[in-house]
Amino acid sequence: MKRNSILFWAVIIFFNLAALFFEKLYLSLHSEQIFGMEWNWGWAAFFAQVLYTILSFRIVGPTELGAILFFGKPIKAVGSGLAFVPLGICQLKKETRLVIQEEFPADPEHIFREEGKVPEGMFPPIRIPFADDPKADDPLGRRVTAEVVPVVRYRIDNYILFLTTIGSRAEAKRQMEDAVIALCMRELTQLSVSEALVTLQRFNKRLKEMIDNMVEGWGINAETAQVKAINFHHDLNKSIASLPEARFQAKAAIETAEGEKKKLSLEGEGKGNAEKSVLLGRAEGLKRMAEELKLDSQTILNAETARAITQNPGQKTIVVGTDGLKEIIGMAAAIGGEATGKKEEKK
């Protein structure tokens, strides 16, 4: 490259000196009347040479790289500032020296995600069919097709080499995009979405290595290469968003059921203890009654049954066992005695 630069300036200086000698030694000896004025051809050629030199200067900006092309062939790289590009013989081609970010297949505003024909200037997204994970219990483990957004950032280090090997940024992007999509289809389709998210860092490292190997000799340096995002369709996004809420609701329902079960158990236990206390108290009372009145237990039970019946005048049905005749007679006697007593009191 340095040799080309020396040769370029040597040729420029040689032709300018040759033109000056020709103007001084030959053209300056000739003059001609034009529009009533005398023109010296030597001075006319000299001023034309100065004008040509001025018009041959170009400016390369502070964020740009430049290359001088001799009838389309890159011969010299130029940096920021003034660059001498012989008018009509050479051309100046410029490119940014900043980091270039390429998002595949295009920037977000140029992605067409609808159905139907893709409009001109728009591009369909890169969609990857992820594998199914039978052990997964969430939507990310299902077989889904999701949009993958790879991004490569690179800088042009050698513009002449870049022009002579790859030609343009558009061609560099096309070739990198083909390689990136091939790698995604080859590796990501073997993973579920959840597995891909977990191993994304390792995949990005693999992607960077592939890009480095690919662009070696292109005159560029790859800064980063990674999958920026995995975008899901609306229904899957909704499922993923509702998953924590569904799990919370399920957990709340289980806790509510456990609480209700415990509540019912405690209520039943409490009622049982209350009934047990009543029965124990009643048994103790009947026992004391039998001891104090010197009556047998059957008589005491008959009397208690009759008392319970008379306390509930609405009771019409009495159920007794197979040996109930004795109980009925006893209860009838008790009821009759109680009723007779009440009637006599009324009289």
Is the bond preceding 74 in cis, omega lying within 30 degrees of 0? no
In angstroms, the Cα distances linking 225 to 22, 34, 71, 158, 180 are: 58, 68, 36, 20, 9
The pair phi, psi for residue 73, each rounded to 5°, is -100, 120
Structure tokens at 315: 């009771």
Per-residue pLDDT at 179: 96
Domain layout of the chain by residue ranges: 2-95, 101-232, 242-294, 295-347
pLDDT tens track for 184-229: 999 999 988 888 888 999 999 999 999 999 999 999 999 999 999 8
Please state the pTM of the whole predicted model: 0.62
Q: Residue 41: is it exposed, middle or buried by C-beta count within 10 angstroms (0-12/13-18/19+)?
A: middle
Q: What is the DSSP string of 203-268?
A: HHHHHHHHHHHHHTTTTEEEEEEEEEEEEPPHHHHHHHHHHHHHHHHHHHHHHHHHHHHHHHHHHH
* Residue burial 203-236, b: 16+ Cβ < 10 Å; e: rest: bbeebbebbeebbeebbbebeebbbeebbbeeeb
Question: Which amino acid is present at 58?
Answer: R
Per-residue pLDDT at 87: 93
Per-residue pLDDT at 250: 53
pLDDT mean values, one per 10 residues, the chain (347 residues): 80 90 86 78 91 95 94 90 93 95 93 88 91 72 86 95 94 96 93 88 95 94 93 58 49 62 66 63 65 62 60 53 49 47 45
- 193 in Cβ contact with 141 (< 8 Å): yes
* Residue burial 241-263, b: 16+ Cβ < 10 Å; e: rest: eeeeeeeeeeeeeeeeeeeeeee
Per-residue pLDDT at 241: 44
Per-residue pLDDT at 325: 45
Rg (the chain; Cα; Å): 52
What sign results for the dihedral spanned by CA atoms 284, 289, 291, 294? negative
Class level of CATH domain 101-232: alpha beta
